[in-house]
Amino acid sequence: MSLTRRQTLRSTALLGAGLAPSLLPGLLTPAHAQSGDFPNRAVRFIVPFPPGGPVDTTGRGMAVPLGEMWKQPTVIDNRAGAGGVVGAEMAAKQPADGYNLFVAAIHHAVMPSLRSKLPYDIENDFVAVSFAASFPVVLVAHPSVPAKNIAELIALDKKSPGTLTFGSSGNGGGTHLAGELFNMHAGTKLRHIPYKGSAPAMNDVLGGQVQLMFSDAPTAIPQLKGNRVRALGVASLTRSALFPGVPTVAEQGVAGYEAYSWAALFAPKGTPPDIVKKINADVNKALNQPAIKQRLFEAGAEAKPGTSQQMATFLRSEMTKWAQVVKAANIQMD
C-alpha cells in the first residue's frame, strides 16, 4: 500500500473516531495556501450527511481520484445533522485556503426558504467550485395503483382529489418538493406523507400504506428491479440511463416539470480564485473519467462537470425555484 493511501486511510479513521483535525499530524495542520504548489498537504471534504448516502458517495467519488492526481491525502469528514445545517455551519468557519471543501446538496438551496435564521449563508459564506453529480428522481407507484402512466395518474386524482398519497424522506426534502412541484404543474392534489428518510418512506410504499413516492434513484432502483413498484415517469427533462425505457413526466404531458437532487463542491468565501480554478479543473477531469462515471452511476448518480460560475448561477436558480414551491405549498419545517 502506498504512503498516500496509508495516510488517507489513517486520517479518515481518526476523523471517524471523532478526533479533531488538529490531531492529525502532518495532514491537516493549518497553513497558508500557496496556489503555485497547491495542494502540498491533505485536503478535507466536509460532507454534511452520514456515510453511505448519495451525497457522501459523491464526495468520495471526487476525493479518491483527486487524491491520486494531487498525490496528497484526501479526507472525508462526515458532519451530519439538521438536514445538512450542522456540516454547512462548520464548513463556513474553516480557513479559506482550499484545504477545506464542502460537499453541498439541494438541501442547502432549499433551507433558506424554510428557516428564517440559519447559522451560515450558502451564497455569501461560500464560493461555488463545481457541480458534481445529479440524482434523478422517479415517480413510482405501488402495484395496486391502477394508473400505468402520468395521464392515468392525473385522471385518477381528478376523480378523487386528495385521496392518493405520496411518501417522502421528510418535510422540505428533495423528494417532498418534487411532489409539490408535480401538484403545481399537473393541477393534482396528491397528499404528502413525510417520513424520517427515504428508506422508511419506500417501505410504506411497498406495504401499500402510501401509494406513490417521488424517489431518489438509489432507493427506487432495487425495488424496480424486483418489480415491487411501478415507474410512472422520470422527473428530469430528459430520460435517464438509470431508468431505461421510462419516459419523463414532461414528455407525458406535464410540460416543464423538472426535479432532481444534486451535490456540488463549495469552498469557504475568500478562497483564492486561482485555487478555486485549479480545483474545478481537477474535479472536471475526475468526473470525466469513465471509471468515476461508472462508480457514481452504480450509486444512482450522474456525473455533472461544469464551471464554478455555472454552479453559482445554478444555485441561485435553485433557490428561487424552490422558494416559490415552498411558499405555494405552504411547507413548514418539522
DSSP β-bridge partners for residue 197: none
pLDDT, one tens digit per residue, over 246-276 is 999 999 999 999 999 999 999 999 999 999 9
| 130 Rama sector, left if φ>0, alpha if ψ -120 to 50, beta otherwise | beta
Q: What DSSP element (H or E) covers 77? A: strand 74-78
Q: Where are the domains of the chain?
A: 3-135+261-327, 136-259
pTM across the whole model: 0.85
Report the alpha-carbon distance of residue 231 to residue 67 in Å, rounded. Answer: 38
pLDDT, one tens digit per residue, over 91-145 is 999 999 999 999 999 999 999 999 989 999 999 999 999 999 999 999 999 999 9
| pLDDT of res. 236 | 93
Q: Of 22, 92, 49, which Cα lies nearest the Cα of 271?
A: 92
Say if residue 76's pLDDT is above 60. Answer: yes
- Per-residue confidence band for 33, with pLDDT thresholds at 50, 70 and 90: very low
Pick the CATH number of 136-259 from 3.50.50.60, 3.30.70.20, 3.40.605.10, 3.40.190.10: 3.40.190.10
pLDDT, one tens digit per residue, over 158-181 is 999 999 999 998 888 889 999 999
pLDDT, one tens digit per residue, over 261-316 is 999 999 999 999 999 999 999 999 999 999 999 999 988 899 999 999 999 999 99
pLDDT, one tens digit per residue, over 128-138 is 999 999 999 99
- Per-residue confidence band for 23, with pLDDT thresholds at 50, 70 and 90: very low
Pairing of strands 165-168, 191-194: parallel
Q: Of 54, 115, 113, which Cα lies nearest the Cα of 82?
A: 115
For 3-135+261-327, which CATH class? alpha beta
Q: Give the SS3 label for residue 196.
A: coil
Cβ contact 194:334 at 8 Å: yes
Cβ contact 249:140 at 8 Å: no
Distance of CA 49 to the CA centre of its chain: 10
CATH topology match: 3-135+261-327 vs 136-259: yes
| pLDDT of res. 8 | 45
Rg (CA), the chain: 20
pLDDT, one tens digit per residue, over 209-238 is 999 999 999 899 999 999 999 999 999 999
| 88 Rama sector, left if φ>0, alpha if ψ -120 to 50, beta otherwise | alpha
Amino acid at 189: K
The grid coordinates of residue 29 equal 495542520
Report the alpha-carbon distance of residue 303 to residue 284 in Å, rounded. Answer: 9
Q: What DSSP element (H or E) covers 92? A: helix 85-92
Cβ contact 216:223 at 8 Å: no
| pLDDT of res. 5 | 45
Q: Give the SS3 label for residue 277.
A: helix
Say if residue 321's pLDDT is above 90. Answer: yes
Report the alpha-carbon distance of residue 269 to residue 274 in Å, rounded. Answer: 13
Cβ contact 248:115 at 8 Å: no
